[in-house]
Amino acid sequence: MTLKAKPKAVVIYSGGMDSYTVLHLALQQGYDVFAVSFNYGQRHSKELDVAAKVCTSLGVPHKLVDITAINQLLQGSSLTSTDIDIPTGEYEEDNMKSTVVPNRNMILLSLAIGYAVSLGSTEVFYGAHSGDHDIYPDCRPEFVDAMNIVSAIANYDDVQIISPFLHQSKLAILQAGLNMGLDYGQTWTCYLGQEKACGKCGSCVERLEAFAKAGLTDPVPYVAL
């Protein structure tokens, strides 16, 4: 009896909490997962190192794609411009707007869709969630819907962007991962690439709030707050 091949899926995997959960969700749903991470000249590569380590431990094929040449075109964000300070405090629009990287997710999704076409895959998994909607235009449902339309037009084979947590919160992502038995000590969320997470940047604050709401302690080490 010939076993039916698993459907292939590309997962955009940054090494953070959200994409870590999406990666495991795709695996649990029976996909043959191909993870892809992008170095676009962000301030540090620690999350990419974490992503590579996780994929090695899972035996998941992982491509780390160097697109740092585009960094010169994507200035004006605190994540790509070293002369702009990383904001601290609440994960809200007024405070976090400086972390928006121009057109980032359109670029990354386009590359991931191209990778999926080359693999014969019809799905690209992407970890946007509802907490990002107010801050990041390229994490909103209308953006994902429009990219799906463009993807269908741009290729002979329709590749769909799957965003499992698009309408859910960070807490919902955490709870889904805990239900899968995931170890979030294997993720990196902090915008700084130090030995320990800062606990003060908006990304850390949002993450810590999710763990607090779940009544848990984040397993990632933090500097003394």
Is residue 11 within 8 Å of residue 162, measured between CB atoms?
Answer: no
Per-residue pLDDT of the chain (225 residues; tens, 9 = 90+): 556 789 999 999 999 999 999 999 999 999 999 999 999 877 778 999 999 999 999 999 999 999 888 877 766 554 554 555 555 555 444 545 555 576 788 999 999 999 999 999 999 999 998 876 567 788 889 999 999 999 999 999 999 999 999 999 999 999 999 999 999 999 999 988 889 999 988 889 999 999 999 999 999 999 976
Q: What is the pLDDT of residue 76?
A: 56
Tell me the torsion sign for CA atoms 186, 190, 192, 196: negative
Output the pLDDT for position 191. Answer: 86
Structure tokens at 21: 């959960």
> Would you tell me how many other CB atoms lie within 10 Å of the CB of residue 145?
13
Residue 35 near residue 63 (C-beta atoms within 8 A): yes
- Which spans in the chain are helix H? 17-28, 46-58, 93-96, 104-119, 141-154, 170-179, 202-213
pTM: 0.89
Q: Where are the beta strands (DSSP E) in 40-120?
A: 62-66
176, amino acid identity: A
Q: What is the pLDDT of residue 91?
A: 45
**Alpha-carbon span 12 to 35, nearest angstrom:** 6
The confidence score (pLDDT) of residue 144 equals 95
Identify the pLDDT of residue 42: 78
β-strand pairing of 123-125 with 32-39: unpaired
The domains found in the chain, sorted by start residue, are: 8-183 (3.40.50.620)
